[in-house]
Amino acid sequence: MNRPDLVRGDRRNFLGAAGALLLAGCAGTTLDPRAGAIAELGGTGKLRAAINFGNPILANRGPGGEPRGVSVDLAREAARRLGLAIELVPFNSAGSVVEAVKAKQVDLAFVAIDPVRAADTEYTAPYVVIEGAYLVREASPLRRNEEVDRAGTRVAVGRGSAYDLFLTRELKAATLVRAPTSPAVVDLFLSQQLEVAAGVKQQLEADARRVGGVRLLPGRFMAIEQAMGVPKDRLAARAWLGGFIEEMKASGFVAEALRRHGIEGAAVAPRAS
């Protein structure tokens, strides 16, 4: 004879065991960030990494035109650890990279952290910190960064760059004039007889040597934190890349890449708190 209480007990035990197995399965998925990162980053069968040639700190072209730089090294190493083929997707400006991330045309990007971009991008902690600087003509009366924000001062910036976004928020009296890319800023500054050019310090230093008759204002107007970014809501990818980038900083990988590519003036970002 079947006893109802025993049947109910067996059913409870069965359901409890099934629930435990289900939770274990979910926990296994949740606790394996690499598997989640592969699913979110490798949907096309490869890792599509945006490489921005508009920022010489991050990337440039080698003698044969091949991409090289710290961002290229990090992209290749991330793909290797995930077991994914790598596709390096070139861009000439940060603004174009951000649009590609937003449209999910790339899986991974190397971009400056900015609150405006956060609407479409998930960031890791920064891996390098670089400086934004101002450039003026030798005869310019401007001597300090604080003197730039005045009525009548026109500042050339790269459209959609981190310093474009920053200066759009910060400058109250000066006017921004946008070049299509960051490398075109100084040429625009010269051709339109503008008062100031703004950009990555190393790019401006190189341009100053190229054109002559110009100088950088002392110091910096902003610190630019460069991070790895993925399209919005790819949280497993962000989690795995967050651990990856901390390891790359701590192991000396980032510092060695900067040294190997001859990059000066960029500092490895501190460990994330």
Q: Is 91 exposed, middle or buried (0-12, 13-18, 19+ CB in 10 A)?
A: buried
Give the 3-state secondary structure of residue 218: coil
- Alpha carbons 250 and 175: distance in angstroms, whole number: 41
pTM of the model: 0.76
Whether the Cβ atoms of residue 46 and residue 85 lie closer than 8 Å to each other:
yes
HEC profile of 153-193? CEEEEECCCHHHHHHHHHCCCCEEEEECCHHHHHHHHHHCC
One-letter identity of residue 110:
F
Residue indicated by tokens 């274990």? 24
Least Cα distance to 182 among 164, 158, 206, 201 occurs for 158
Encode 7-39: b = buried (16+ Cβ within 10 Å), e = exposed: eeeeeeeeeeeeeeeeeeeeeeeeeebeebbbe
- The whole-number pLDDT of residue 273 equals 77
pLDDT at position 31, please? 59
By the 8 A CB rule, do 199 and 157 touch?
A: yes
Beta carbons of 153 and 174 less than 8 angstroms apart: yes
Mean pLDDT in order along the chain per 10 residues (273 residues): 45 42 41 88 96 91 94 98 97 92 97 90 96 96 97 96 93 97 94 96 92 97 95 96 98 96 89 87
Helix and strand numbers, DSSP H then E, in the chain: 9, 12
Would you state the pLDDT for residue 56? Answer: 86
Q: Check residue 23 and give its pLDDT.
A: 39
Q: What is the pLDDT of residue 10?
A: 45
